Structure 1
Amino acid sequence: MNLNNLSPYIRVAWDNFIEPPFHISERVIFDYELLYVKDGEIKVTVEDKVYYGIPGDIFLFKPLQPHAIYLLNNKRLHQPHIHFDLYYQSDSPQVKISFKPLKAIMEEEKQWFREDVTPLMEDPLPNHIRLNKPVVIEKLIYDIIFEMERKFPYYETSAKGLFVQLWVQLLRENHWKNNAHLLSKWELLDRIKNYMSHQTEHEITLDELSKFANLNKYYLCKLFKKAFNITPIQYHVAVRLEKAKQMIQFTNLSLSVIAEKTGFQSIHAFSRAFRKLEGVSPSFYRKRVT
């Protein structure tokens, strides 16, 4: 799932209340739904699993996924929720909200089922997330609801942008939950990245980083790669090449001088690294951007 191509379509965004003893019997939906528990307690069944939701929890229901919602303890449910497509399709505006079980879906309606692309994600979002920062998620949901209700000029584009922020925040919540050890080290990892970003004039070694971070270099490398999907040395090469690209574009310095100023041992080493990252030689890049 390429997040760079994410182009959500917000079908509806509602701030609803459900009074006991009402419940939502098992149904399937054509699209995705995010349901935020603002107040109340619920039991949710998704396929063969049972979840219990409390204020601050969020549920993700996926296309064709049977689910039901039951109120608990005779409490009213306050449930801001959003129905959406992750990728806009030509029929997105025509697709309806489903409140029916699969057996009641008419044959002509079955074409509306979206393809569930969440299994293609690096860390697929689960059906139930107990949020660490519900205030951030809640605000984004209500901002989307506001846009969809008021319908000011360009509201759909605004809601789309807010939804991308919401989706990223959910991905981060899930990532931290799955990698709790990274969360405790995040401030240190950020300092390491910042340190490398300001050391563009020479090659950094793992020994140097280990001394700076006061961590075993092998543990540091493993931790960094888990957090950013790249080794510290690879990250530092990319930082230096980004600096080199700026020099190529905005100065008249020779490529040899740029290679020296960004810590490469020779113009040949610089050219190899540049081509590997950019797919073109430094000289070709200079002709293209100047």
Structure 2
Amino acid sequence: MEAWMNTISPFVRKVKILKSSSLSGEWVDYDHVFTYIEQGEADFILNGVKYLVQEGDVLLMSPFMSHIIRTTSAAPVIQYIFHFDLYYDGERSAWTETGITMDKQRQIPEREMRLASLLPISHLRPADRIELKRSFLMMHKASLDERGNNALLMKAVCIELLFLFLKGQINSGSHEGKMTKGWVFIERTISFINGHYWDPQLDNASISKHAGISTNHLSFLFKEQLNITIHKYLMHVRIEQAKQRILEGGKTLTVIAREVGFSGIHLFSRAFKAMVGVTPSHFQASNSKLWK
């Protein structure tokens, strides 16, 4: 064990259990993301390297490691996830939300990158999976309780789960990933869409022009590597942005539709229902308690 490992003092920021059936976009976080696969199989693309993960695998993503998930099994993927800092810092501990919302979050202390050189995937033996799930569920329960001593419990569990990840590295030789074909163009496209989804004129031609590749070839790469069309990914980003605005409250659906790139409320409503399963107005009514 390296000497610096004796100095770590983790701060657990968020604990959650997610169930997903399809690609949900690209994430880049300012903290570490620990993910255990409880069910299903998926391709994880981490900084352009693709790993096929399945039940019993653990992924550890360092700050600013971009990651895309695409399910590859009939069963939805269930992930046990927690976000954490490797070292406690008073200012950073006040950042309770995940995702980058402030410029200062882009300034990563050097000591937070000490795990970045590790292979980001481990495969756990059955006995270790049982131990991990028991500990994670204890952490999850503690995260829902606001009593002060639970922060210490979550810190202790975080160290235990990091140990299980490192222990599983011994069994991860078969999980070496390979560079995703055309990743530079896919990443460029995703970044451009995330920054320009609000433009109603955004289409495959303008997106591929920015990516520096032909429209046909970019469409081929998206379908081959992510199993999704460029247009569907754009729709996903727009609808996710719309959902966030609806939950925040204070704006009409017409205004929200315009802000996320739809030329009219009717087109927005049809796209929203096709992707979410309910109309925007129904979604708004069902979640009104979150923002009233």
Calculate the TM-score normalised by the size of structure 1. Answer: 0.52
Is residue 31–residue 113 contact of structure 1 (8 Å, CA) maintained in 2? no
Residues 177-208 of structure 1, C-alpha deviation per residue, up to 9 Å, x if partnerless? 67xxxxxxxxxxxxxxxxxxxxxxxxxxxxxx
Q: Which runs of 5+ in 2 are unaligned?
A: 174-292
Q: Which has the larger radius of gyration?
A: 1
Residue 14 to residue 135, structure 1, CA distance change in 2 (3 Å) = same
Is residue 35–residue 58 contact of structure 2 (8 Å, CA) maintained in 1? yes
Is residue 62–residue 116 contact of structure 1 (8 Å, CA) maintained in 2? no
3-state SS of 1:34 partner = strand
Distance 2:113 2:90 in 1: 23
Partner residue, 2:122? 129
Q: Give the Å deviation of 1:47.
A: 1.1
Is residue 122–residue 171 contact of structure 2 (8 Å, CA) maintained in 1? no
Percent identity, aligned pairs only?
19
Residues 207-232 of structure 1, C-alpha deviation per residue, up to 9 Å, x if partnerless? xxxxxxxxxxxxxxxxxxxxxxxxxx
Distance 2:89 2:148 in 1: 22
3-state SS of 1:150 partner = coil
Moved more, 74-83 or 144-153: 144-153
Q: Give the Å deviation of 1:61.
A: 1.1
Partner residue, 1:89? 89
Residue 120 to residue 86, structure 1, CA distance change in 2 (3 Å) = closer
Residue 12 to residue 69, structure 1, CA distance change in 2 (3 Å) = same
- 1:59 partner letter: L
Distance 1:118 1:171 in 2: 17
State which of 141, 151, 172 in structure 2 corresponds to 1:156: 151
Residues 81-105 of structure 1, C-alpha deviation per residue, up to 9 Å, x if partnerless? 000000011222333311xxxxxx6
State which of 89, 100, 103 in structure 2 corresponds to 1:109: 103
- 1:111 partner letter: Q
Partner residue, 1:102? none
Partner residue, 2:14? 12
Partner residue, 2:167? 172
Is residue 63–residue 116 contact of structure 1 (8 Å, CA) maintained in 2? no
3-state SS of 1:29 partner = coil
Is residue 118–residue 124 contact of structure 1 (8 Å, CA) maintained in 2? no
Q: Give the Å deviation of 1:69.
A: 0.8
Q: Give the Å deviation of 1:10.
A: 0.4
Partner residue, 1:39? 39
Is residue 32–residue 85 contact of structure 1 (8 Å, CA) maintained in 2? yes
Q: Give the Å deviation of 1:169.
A: 2.5
Note the 1:70-81 alignment, pairs <5 A. Answer: 70-81=70-81
3-state SS of 2:38 partner = coil
Distance 2:165 2:113 in 1: 15
3-state SS of 1:73 partner = coil
Q: CA RMSD in A?
A: 2.5
Between Structure 1 and Structure 2, how many residues are aligned? 168
Q: Give the Å deviation of 1:136.
A: 1.8
- 1:145 partner letter: H
Residue 110 to residue 43, structure 1, CA distance change in 2 (3 Å) = farther
Calculate the TM-score normalised by the size of structure 2. Answer: 0.52
Partner residue, 1:28? 28
- 1:97 partner letter: T
Partner residue, 1:53? 53
Residue 72 to residue 177, structure 1, CA distance change in 2 (3 Å) = closer
Residue 79 to residue 6, structure 1, CA distance change in 2 (3 Å) = same
3-state SS of 2:51 partner = strand
Q: Determine whether 1:146 maps to 2:148.
A: no
- 2:119 partner letter: P
Q: Which runs of 5+ in 1 are unaligned?
A: 99-104, 179-290
Distance 2:110 2:68 in 1: 19
Q: Give the Å deviation of 1:59.
A: 0.9
3-state SS of 1:38 partner = strand
Is residue 63–residue 115 contact of structure 1 (8 Å, CA) maintained in 2? no
Distance 1:113 1:146 in 2: 31
Distance 2:51 2:172 in 1: 17
Partner residue, 2:242? none
Residue 144 to residue 114, structure 1, CA distance change in 2 (3 Å) = farther
Residue 175 to residue 56, structure 1, CA distance change in 2 (3 Å) = closer
Partner residue, 1:249? none
Distance 2:28 2:110 in 1: 13
Residue 77 to residue 5, structure 1, CA distance change in 2 (3 Å) = same
Q: Give the Å deviation of 1:5.
A: 1.6
